[in-house]
Amino acid sequence: MDSFEKLVGYLLEKDGYWIRSSVKIELTPEEKKKIGRPTSPRWEIDLVAYKAKSNELLVVECKSFLDSSGVRASGFNGKGTSDEKRYKLFNDPVLRKTVLGRLVKQFVASGSCSPSPFVKLCLAAGKVSSESDRDNIKKRFECEGWEFFDNSWLRERLSAVSKSGYENDVASVVAKILLRENQGIVKISS
């Protein structure tokens, strides 16, 4: 799991979810044919977050894009752009239904979640290309019932972590160093 996925997982744990990373989906040969990928290896999901209290299962695709132009709305507009290839679960309804259906079957069979969980597809993005892209992505995700964890979501949660008690976790320590006000700097007058 990469650092961005670890950070997103940590923040979701703070919201009451348990986290599994790099979850492999065991598609049947028939399911692979159905999605047009009969020889594909197991499908992999970056993060799966489960909250038992609400029987909610989040399927989270993580894209940090910190040193790139960022996530663009063109990745989700249904016009066949090259950006859309990065977001297959969001852009291919047959693939999405098949993969998420198999995920639920796997998790219920293993006892990892209760039957009939509420499943929500999510995208965590460290950087968004522009405010226009952010607005358009949020509108599209809202229409689809998906969740968009953008850099403001990350900042908001990291800010809350910086104000909480000490935890021996890299994200917590970094948040406290960078985001706490009045770090106890003492001015020495001459």
Cβ proximity of 159 and 171 under 8 Å: no
- The model's pTM is 0.89
Instruction: For Cα atoms 47, 48, 50, give the angle at the middle one, nearest 5 degrees.
Output: 145
Residues of the chain with pLDDT under 70: 1, 80, 181-190
pLDDT at position 189 = 58
22: left (phi over 0), alpha (psi -120 to 50) or beta: left
Q: Residue 13 in 3-state DSSP?
A: helix
Cβ atoms within 10 Å, residue 179: 14
Pairing of strands 147-149, 118-125: parallel
Strands (E), 80-185: 118-125, 147-149
Delineate the domains of the chain, giving CATH numbers in brackets: 3-179 (3.40.1350.10)
**Beta bridge partners of residue 122, listed in sequence order:** 60, 147
pLDDT digits (tens, 9 = 90+) for 58-90: 999 999 999 999 999 999 987 767 777 889 999
The span from the CA of 176 to the CA of 3, in Å, is 18
